[in-house]
Every structure is written in structure tokens, then in C-alpha cells.
Structure 1
Amino acid sequence: MTEIHLSVQDMESQACIKVVTQALQDFQGVKSIHVDIQSGRVEVTRTVNKSDDLIHALDIAGFPSSLDLDEQ
């Protein structure tokens, strides 16, 4: 398993958690998603060490994101 830490912008409410989770949950190998709106971070546990597809999905959903290199 790989833990991928993302820094996500514009998350402000509980509704954002639902949108972010739905945007990520169906990607290959995603086992769990933890969204922390206060810190603006999302942690994805995944069997595949890949993040570009997740970042792209969040961008499309309206949440600009990037790898959180402080947590890698």
C-alpha cells in the first residue's frame, strides 16, 4: 500500500468532503480516503503508486491540488 498526501485548495465545508471523496474513490487501487478540510490535506491509501490521475480528477472537480511534499 502507498499513502499519497495531497494539498487541496478551496475546501471549505462538509459538502467539499463528499465531492472530493467521490472524485477519488473509483480510481484503480484506491482503498481509503481521508479528507481534512482544516489543513487542506487529503490522504489516499492506494495499491498503485500514482498520483497524477488523482490530482487531475480533483482539478476537474474544482479543487486545485498538488502533492504535499512535506508529508511524503
Structure 2
Amino acid sequence: MRSKALALVLIAVTLLAVVIAALSYRATRPAITPQEAYEIHREQLQGIAEASSRYEGAGKGKYQPPKGFVAPQLDR
């Protein structure tokens, strides 16, 4: 009975140590500055703009399905 209690205490202490280590790592990680966040967002928007410009003939705001797309036929 004593060995089971000791094992449970050991597991609890180990789990507590892991949680504390994870939280301390997260606290010491450098924060993203507003300038870095702006640059990341701008790069993502540029990627989206480049991908959307690849659809030839698509007007602004109009959906252009991928080449080879075949709409499903509904059974009526």
C-alpha cells in the first residue's frame, strides 16, 4: 500500500514539474512586436493576393472554380 502511495506522489510531483517547466518556457519566449505582427500579416495578404490572381478571367469578388472542375449532377 505504501509503494502505491509513493508512486502516486512521484507521478504528481513529476506532472507538476512538467507543467511548471512548460509555463516558464512560455513566459520567457520573446513576444511578437506589433511591427512583426504587421509584417507577418502583410506577407500573408500578399500570398492570398498572388494566389487569387492566378485565376484568369475572375473578376473581383467573383468565384472562379479550379480548372477541370465538374459540378455534381443532382438526381431529380
Q: Which has the larger radius of gyration?
A: 2
Query: Would you tell me which structure has more helix in proportion to its own residues?
Result: 2
Asked which structure has the greater RCO (Cα within 8 Å, sep 6+), the reply is 1
- TM-score normalised over the length of structure 1: 0.28
Query: Would you tell me which structure has more strand in proportion to its own residues?
Result: 1
